[in-house]
Amino acid sequence: MLLFILKRLLALIPLLLAISVLVFLILHFGNNDPAMAYLRLSHIPPTDLALEAARESLGLNRPLSVQYLDWLGKAVRLDFGMSYVTGKPVLERLLYYLPNTLYLAGFSLMITIFLSLPLGIISALRKDRWPDHLTRAMAFVGVSTPSFWLGFLLVFFFSVKLGWLPALGKGGITHVLMPAFTLSLMSMCINTRLIRASMLEQMNSRSVLYARVRGIHEKRIVGSHILKNAMIPVVTAIGMHIGEMLGGAVVVEIIFAWPGVGRYAVSAIYNRDFPVMQCFILMMTLIFVFCNLGVDILYAWLDPRIRYREGGKA
Amino acid sequence: MAPEQILSVNKLSLSRQSGKTDIQLVHEVSFSIDQQEIVGLIGESGCGKSLTCLSLINLLPRIIRADSGEIFFQGTPLNDIKSSMMRSLRGKSMAMILQNPMSCFDSVFSIRYHFKETLQSHGMGWSKNRCRHICDALAEVGFENPKEIIDLYPFQMSGGMLQRVMIALALIMKVALLIADEPTTDLDLVSQNKILCLLAKMREQHGMSILLVTHDLSVIARLADRAIIMQQGKIVDSGSVKAIFAQGQHHPYTKALLNAHFNLYGSHLERSELEIC
Amino acid sequence: MTTFKALMARKMNWFALPVIMVILSMAVLAPWIAPHDPSQINLEQKLTSPDSEHLLGTDHLGRDILSRLIWGARTSMGSVFVIVNLVMFFSLLVGCFSGYLGGWVDTLLMRICEIFLTFPTFILAMFLIGVLGMGMGNVIIAIVLTHWAWYARIIRSLTLSIKSREYIMASQVAGSSHFTIFTRHLLPPIMAQLVILATLDIGHMMLHVSGLSFLGLGVKAPTAEWGVMINDARQYIWTQPELIFYPGMMIFLAVLAFNIPGDTLRDSLDPVIRAEET
């Protein structure tokens, strides 16, 4: 098992390097002009001479590979540059907002898992009866609902009309309920359908038949054989949900004025604050990559075939 | 004293609904199996052999209906018994070994777990003694290192090995009737031989009755005492294996089977003795 | 069962297909059926209730909401149409080449795909827009760049499975040129699968397009787009919540309507479900 984890960690390194190359290239070929931004921040009029001098001092005339290595070196030392807007270190600001986003995403993930699990299981066990039909209909509708519409609908009902929940900002648990639910809806519906399909596939499997042939109690069959096998694809899907939530959090933070990195990143885009944007994408991608690694490890722990195939002990 | 009748099936009929009509899958099948008897059930694929077996243990797929028929196991009628009673019979008094054993075991659980859950479901506790019993059973079915086998996962074993584990599961529960559904179909010749020898051993040394389902007449020739020949859901011929193989009046389908068998394997009845194993 | 029959058999499609037709008609016929100019600002008539002239009322700049919804269909459907075509084109190109040629080309292209797939989709799209600049064109580019890799991988495995079939080898032995094999044997089945996959994804892409527009990263004012309309109406949630409700409803109906036949198509391709239904 340890060997498996080690192999996966090592495989990450070239991937992370490749990601950094891509981000750097996109940054370079975009409308990014650090020289201009530098002059603006220093309140120096951007004459051609000044621009040229700025470019020279910022090292923008060096070959691309040198610039990349320089950039990478700084990134590894956690120096992502200064904001074009504030002139202050970018990473600091993002790290200030990050916990809020993680709190929101984490809460959403909890909601997703705790609601989709029973719904999916009941839907499969009561196939073609009314709980199944209802759940499937709700899941289908949920998947088609834009989160930025749902958010406002919830605010309208629970804040404007009923006054039960606060509409904006971060605070106690009442503040996080609506944003987290809005963020979780898409993943919850996808997960419910996935659990249902996975369970149905297991319920009709030959190993379940053989377990019945041996006279195993039905409860035990459902609890161990069906559930454990059915959860394997679901665990893998958690990685996808996390990606969905990291992206969706941006929209939800805007709707509910939640002080997270997503909201900060959007304002950075308006302000063409490239250092913030680049740090944002690297940060979120890193989180995503490590979450996926965690999911892979969990998957290998659940399914001995994966561990065995990758050369570890079964 | 007449040998005890382990299993008695009387006019079993199974059908399936397709659209508005009923398709008859098995039609008034009747047969019986005595104690320590090996009865072969032979017929082509799709003739209803597997369905008949599943109906014996009441695990027919939901779309298949049992229209009529009575099944008696060790004198007890199985038709209307409570499902909990049926469940306790399965695996403990009547065991079934299935073809394609790789898909029957649950790959996320070890062999040890499969034994454990079977024993625990029949009220037999789990203790160090049990481990020894399992190792004994595994040794009995031909494994040289039962202690290693017990910790393996199904995907680490071959089809032949898993088939033997299935027999070990029946052995450890000391079942009275073993239903073997095409046990040799997916196996290579060497494994086939091992399994057939093992089945003979189960009958000789452990007193099991066996219902041996196959489409291969040579398997019947080798192992069975009596044979039942099915075609399209009906029993077309039955009798002792010697009688079937002797020249005489037979149903046309039986004749066709025999001809095919003789063309492939020659004209004598092969009886496996334990020495071949 | 032909695709159309399969679609008609499901009652849900009786709702979905007409809705799709309506939305597509709105998109195509917008210049003729919209009662007003969607960009016409009339500050004296801002935030009015529905009346005979403005069937759904007006927004905060006095623009007719109904017209903006109709023209919004044009923007949404138009951009999704372009995105789907571009994604299909690029993924087909990369996937087929990768699968057919194999070797280092395959490895290189698939590694590139893998890199793109490592990013969370929406965030990568945001970053691309941040770098390229805002506007619908860049939204389209961003969404194409974030989605092509997923399709390319699927096309590649389809290509590989078809390539290994006997009739391809027979064709090669018979001396057909690569081009012939490609166009006659490979492309037709792959195109069929690709079209189905893309159809299934239309709803998802529409959510991304309107999501990015909602964030203000998409169309420039005064172009009408449903996501933007929701953003514009945010501040009026306490007084005129219907301004948020209408465009959101349109997005919801459109995505739902495209998801339903997509679901049916997926089920009709799944042999297990087909067997259950007979």
Q: What is the pLDDT of residues C225-256, one digit of tens each?
A: 999 999 989 888 888 888 899 999 999 999 99
The answer to whether the Cβ–Cβ distance between C115 and A22 falls below 8 Å is: yes
Interval B206-214 mean pLDDT: 92
What whole-number distance in Å separates Cα of residue B25 and Cα of residue C111? 53
Residues of chain A contacting C247 with CB distance shorter than 8 Å: 149
pLDDT exceeds 80 at position A282: yes
User: Does A18 contact chain C (CB < 8 Å)?
Assistant: yes
Domain B5-101+178-276 of CATH type 3.40.50.150: no
Domain interval for residue C161:
2-277
The answer to whether the Cβ–Cβ distance between A281 and C127 falls below 8 Å is: yes
The answer to whether the Cβ–Cβ distance between A26 and C120 falls below 8 Å is: no
- In Å, how far is B178's CA from the nearest CA of chain A? 11
Residues of chain A contacting C246 with CB distance shorter than 8 Å: none
Chains in touch with B (3+ beta-carbon pairs under 8 Å) read A
Closest CB to A213: pick one of B96, B153, B155: B96
The residue of chain A with its CA nearest to that of C267 is: A197
- In Å, how far is A171's CA from the nearest CA of chain C? 21
The two structure tokens encoding residue C222? 């005064």
The answer to whether the Cβ–Cβ distance between A19 and C115 falls below 8 Å is: yes
Domain chopping of chain B, boundaries: 5-101+178-276
CATH no. for residue C25? 1.10.3720.10
The answer to whether the Cβ–Cβ distance between C237 and A156 falls below 8 Å is: yes
Three-state DSSP class for B77? strand
* Torsion over CA: C150, C154, C159, C160 (sign): positive
pLDDT exceeds 90 at position B168: yes
Residue A185 makes CB contacts below 8 A (sequence gap 6+) with: A142, A145, A147, A150
* pLDDT of amino acid C5: 62
pLDDT tens, position by position, C150-200: 899 988 888 888 877 766 777 777 777 777 777 777 788 888 878 878 888
* pLDDT of amino acid A118: 93
Q: For residue B23, give Cα distances in angstroms to B13, B56, B64.
A: 11, 20, 10
Instruction: Tell me if A281 sits within 8 A of C119, measured CB to CB.
Output: yes
pLDDT tens, position by position, A130-139: 899 999 999 9
pLDDT tens, position by position, A62-112: 888 888 888 888 888 888 888 888 878 889 999 999 999 999 999 999 999
Interval C207-213 mean pLDDT: 93
Interval B176-189 mean pLDDT: 89
Buried/exposed B5-18: b ≥16 CB within 10 Å, e otherwise: bbbbbeebbbbeee
The answer to whether the Cβ–Cβ distance between B118 and A220 falls below 8 Å is: no
- DSSP structural state of residue C238: T
Instruction: Tell me if B38 sits within 8 A of B203, measured CB to CB.
Output: yes
Q: For residue B93, give Cα distances in angstroms to A17, A280, B35, B74, C186.
A: 62, 65, 13, 10, 56
Model-level pTM?
0.84
Give the model's confidence band at A266: pLDDT under 50 very low, under 70 low, under 90 confident, else very high. very high
| Look-up of token digits 């390097």 | A17
The answer to whether the Cβ–Cβ distance between C126 and A145 falls below 8 Å is: no
The answer to whether the Cβ–Cβ distance between B153 and A232 falls below 8 Å is: no
pLDDT exceeds 50 at position B1: no
- In Å, how far is A262's CA from the nearest CA of chain B? 40
> Where would I find the beta strands (DSSP E) of B19-115?
21-34, 38-42, 64-73, 76-77, 94-97
How many CA atoms lie within 13 Å of B221's alpha carbon, on the beta-carbon side? 15
- Percent share of chain C, pLDDT over 90: 32
Residues of chain B contacting A209 with CB distance shorter than 8 Å: 59, 98, 104
User: What's the ipTM?
Assistant: 0.90
Q: What mean pLDDT is reported for chain C? A: 84
pLDDT tens, position by position, A14-37: 999 999 999 988 888 876 777 777
Q: How many domains are contained in chain C?
A: 1
pLDDT tens, position by position, C124-156: 999 999 988 888 999 999 999 999 998 999 888
pLDDT tens, position by position, C94-127: 988 888 888 898 999 999 999 999 999 999 999 9
* pLDDT of amino acid B188: 86
Give the model's confidence band at C269: pLDDT under 50 very low, under 70 low, under 90 confident, else very high. low
Closest CB to A269: pick one of C119, C130, C238: C130
Q: Other CB atoms closer than 10 Å to residue B109's CB: what's the count?
A: 19
The answer to whether the Cβ–Cβ distance between A215 and B118 falls below 8 Å is: yes
What whole-number distance in Å separates Cα of residue A13 and Cα of residue C270? 39
- In Å, how far is B220's CA from the nearest CA of chain A? 24
| Look-up of token digits 């999911």 | A295
Q: Other CB atoms closer than 10 Å to residue C137's CB: what's the count?
A: 14
* pLDDT of amino acid C278: 40
* pLDDT of amino acid A314: 46
